[in-house]
Amino acid sequence: MIQLRNIRKSYQTGFTSLEVLKGIELDIQEGEFVSIMGSSGSGKSTLLNILGILDDYTEGEYVLDNTLIKNLSQKQAAQYRNQFIGFVFQSFNLLSFKTALENVALPLYYQKVPRKKRQELALEYLDRVGLKEWAHHLPTQMSGGQQQRVAIARALISKPKVLLADEPTGALDTKTSYEVMDIFKEVNNQGITIIVVTHENDIAEMTNRIIRLRDGVIESNTILAQ
């Protein structure tokens, strides 16, 4: 599903350039549930942004579902994002002025799905995360766990190949964190590849593979028997 070949990324800061990723080699198969760990500054967020086609890389090759992701125009990048990837963020990133239902339906709007169909699907996905009754509430009226579940429903509605989660449990207490991870597992069981960035060991333990980053290189790549 994902092949990273010698991925390098450097940022130009003034006269010096800072290399954040120093040649990442990584293969992730379809249906895997992977966690990426590392201290801050290890490059894990940068890696996730590259995987999510939110950011460009300086060198190397990134192939996603047999499509080379390189030197894309903004428009192409947006289309691939919409088509391949679902995002879940630490701070949920729901649009505060839209209801749960509207938030979930948003990716379909950019796929030009008709309104009625959008709403039907959005309701179905909200039901899957157990929030059907909350469809017409604003994010501010919901708890953190509920908001994250809305965000997951939103990430799933476009039927992505890969679900990318950036510290999805960072803002949640242990109990809700586990609930969210349970949802991820369920989603993973349906065959969707999931990549979670986290710095919590217990969260990482729930995935099938832990990739540890340090100073821009992969330090270890451990497959867990689950």
Partner 1 sequence: MFDFDKWQEIFNTIEKNKLRSTLTALGVFWGIFMLILLLGAGKGMENGVLQMFGDQAVNSLYVWTQKTTKPYKGFSPGRRVQFTNDDIKALRDNFPEIKHVASRIHMGSLTFIKGNNTGAYEVRGELPDYIHIEPIDIREGRFFNPLDIKERRKIIVIGKAIKKVLFGDEEALGKYVKVGGIDYRITGIFKSKRKGERAMEDEQTAFIPLTTAQQIMNMPNRIHWFVCSMHDDIVVSDVEGELKALLRKRHSIHPEDKEGIGSFNLAKEFGQFTGLFAAIKLFVGFVGIMTLFAGIVGVGNVMLIIVKERTKEIGIRKAMGATPGSIISMILLESVFITTLSGYLGLLAGTGLLSLVSYALKEFDAESMFFANPEVDFSIGLLALTLLVFFGAIAGLIPALHAARINPVVALRDE
The residue ranges that bind partner 1 (CB under 8 A) are: 49, 52, 54-55, 74-75, 78-79, 81-83, 87, 89-91, 93-95, 97-98, 102, 106-107, 109-112, 114-115, 154, 158
- Work out the end-to-end distance of the chain between its first and last CA atoms, rounded to an integer number of angstroms: 21
Q: How far is the CB of 97 from partner 1 (least distance, A)?
A: 4
Residue 85: strand pairing partners: 162
Q: How far is the CB of 224 from partner 1 (least distance, A)?
A: 28
Residue in the block written with tokens 């450097």: 10
Residue 22: strand pairing partners: 8
CA distance 103 to 125: 11
Closest CB to partner 1 among 63 and 138?
138
CA distance 158 to 11: 32
Region of residue 216 (phi > 0: left; psi between -120 and 50: alpha; otherwise: beta) = left
Q: How many CA atoms lie within 13 A of 79 on its CB side?
A: 8
Bridging pattern class, strands 2-13 and 217-223: unpaired
Q: How far is the CB of 102 from partner 1 (least distance, A)?
A: 8
Q: How far is the CB of 225 from partner 1 (least distance, A)?
A: 33
Angle at 192 between CA 167 and CA 33, to 5 degrees: 50
Closest CB to partner 1 among 24 and 209?
24
Q: How far is the CB of 220 from partner 1 (least distance, A)?
A: 26
Q: How far is the CB of 193 from partner 1 (least distance, A)?
A: 18
Closest CB to partner 1 among 71 and 225?
71
CA distance 53 to 102: 24
Closest CB to partner 1 among 110 and 220?
110
Closest CB to partner 1 among 151 and 183?
151
Closest CB to partner 1 among 145 and 160?
160
Residues whose CB is less than 8 angstroms from the CB of residue 68 and which lie 6 or more positions away in sequence, other chains included: 61, 62
